[in-house]
């Protein structure tokens, strides 16, 4: 890591467009994320935050443009990208224990047929410890609370020993303890040089806890330090009618889980 200035940016998007079920979602996204940066990805519902993450892990095809990781195109090598899905996307009744789920993070490194060894079990134990859920290792995942489930999936992503970690809404619908655990994890990851992208609805959190913010609405509205990104002008562009200004203060009518309001569409 001594010559990190000479290395290519860890994550480099160049004019990337992504479609979901044939409908274009992201247009012409160009940005560079340096090694070890932590970026909050914010924007209204349907802005393409999840779509961006899914494209980066190869779940959605990239229509135009290119994604470079360590200067090499996506899928040309083990990309070392871990993705923490939103909690609703997982079958919680599946018969696996917490330790089983975290061990799945090792499978990519194990390769075909080989079984996990002592070194893998040590990594799993360390990741469980790091998220404060070591005591739950043997429990079936269906018996966990929402916050605990979130931490299991974070531990699994850690067990992948990723260079780039993508977290989809890790702060949504979890208890304060889990939110604290996630923030603590982000602090631990910083000196390790792990690049992190976190999507969130919480603009205050993004401004307070992240040095870089990416404001998305189908394309990049602004990208950089929060004080340059979260300006009234940018927020108006990104959130449109959902942004409300009182004096110099911006208020976003929260678009997460829209209530039954007419015209509540993003």
Residues forming contacts to another protein in the complex (CB under 8 A) are 57-59, 75, 78-79, 81-83, 85, 89-91, 94-97, 100-101, 104, 107-108, 110, 112-113, 115-116, 140, 142-143, 156
Q: Smaller CB distance to another protein: residue 19 or 96?
A: 96
Q: CB-wise, 125 or 243, nearer to another protein?
A: 125
Minimal distance in Å, beta carbon 189 to another protein? 18
Minimum CB separation of residue 2 from another protein in Å reads 30
Min separation Cβ 209 and another protein, Å: 25
Query: Least distance to another protein from the beta carbon of 143, Å?
Result: 8
Nearer to another protein, 93 or 263 (CB): 93
SS3 148: helix
Question: CA–CA separation, 266 vs 256, rounded Å?
Answer: 10
Measured from the CB atom, the residue of 159 and 214 that comes closer to another protein is 159
**What strands, in cross-sheet order, belong to the sheet with 81-84?**
81-84, 164-168, 195-199, 38-42, 212-216, 220-224
Tokens 């940018």 found at: 234
Strands (E), 46-194: 62-69, 72-73, 81-84, 164-168
Q: Determine the distance from the C-alpha atom of residue 255 to the mean position of all C-alpha atoms in its chain, rounded to a whole number.
A: 19
Find the shortest distance in angstroms from Cβ 113 to another protein.
Answer: 5
* Tokens representing residue 164 in the block: 């780039």
- The residue (of 12 and 79) whose beta carbon lies closer to another protein is 79
Q: Which residue's CB is nearer to another protein, number 155 or number 215?
A: 155
Distance in Å, CB of 151 to another protein, minimum: 16
Of the candidates 188, 68, 46, 210, which has an alpha carbon nearest to the alpha carbon of residue 126?
188
Structure tokens at 19: 């479609």
CA dist 139 and 254 (Å) reads: 36
What distance separates the 2 farthest-apart alpha carbons in the chain? 63
């Amino acid at each position: 890591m001594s010559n990190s200035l000479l290395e290519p940016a860890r994550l480099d998007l160049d004019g990337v467009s992504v479609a979901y079920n044939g409908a274009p979602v992201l247009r012409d996204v160009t940005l560079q994320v340096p090694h070890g940066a932590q970026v909050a990805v914010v924007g209204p519902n349907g802005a393409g935050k999840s779509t961006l993450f899914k494209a980066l892990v190869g779940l959605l095809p990239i229509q135009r443009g290119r994604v470079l990781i360590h200067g090499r195109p996506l899928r040309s090598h083990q990309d070392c990208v871990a993705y923490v899905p939103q909690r609703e996307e997982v079958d919680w009744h599946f018969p696996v224990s917490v330790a089983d789920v975290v061990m799945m993070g090792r499978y990519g490194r194990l390769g075909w047929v080989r079984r996990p060894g002592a070194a893998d079990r040590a990594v799993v134990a360390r990741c469980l410890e790091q998220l404060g859920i070591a005591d739950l290792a043997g429990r079936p995942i269906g018996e966990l609370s929402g916050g605990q489930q979130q931490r299991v999936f974070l531990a699994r992503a850690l067990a992948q020993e990723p260079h780039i970690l993508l977290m989809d809404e890790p702060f949504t619908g979890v208890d304060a303890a889990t939110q604290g655990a996630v923030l603590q994890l982000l602090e631990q990851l910083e000196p390790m040089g792990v690049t992190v992208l976190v999507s969130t609805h919480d603009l205050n959190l993004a401004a307070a806890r992240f040095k870089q913010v990416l404001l998305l609405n189908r394309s990049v509205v602004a990208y950089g330090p929060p004080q340059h990104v979260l300006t009234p002008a940018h927020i108006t562009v990104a959130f449109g009618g959902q942004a409300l200004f009182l004096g110099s203060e911006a208020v976003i009518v929260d678009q997460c889980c829209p209530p039954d309001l007419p015209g509540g569409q993003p």
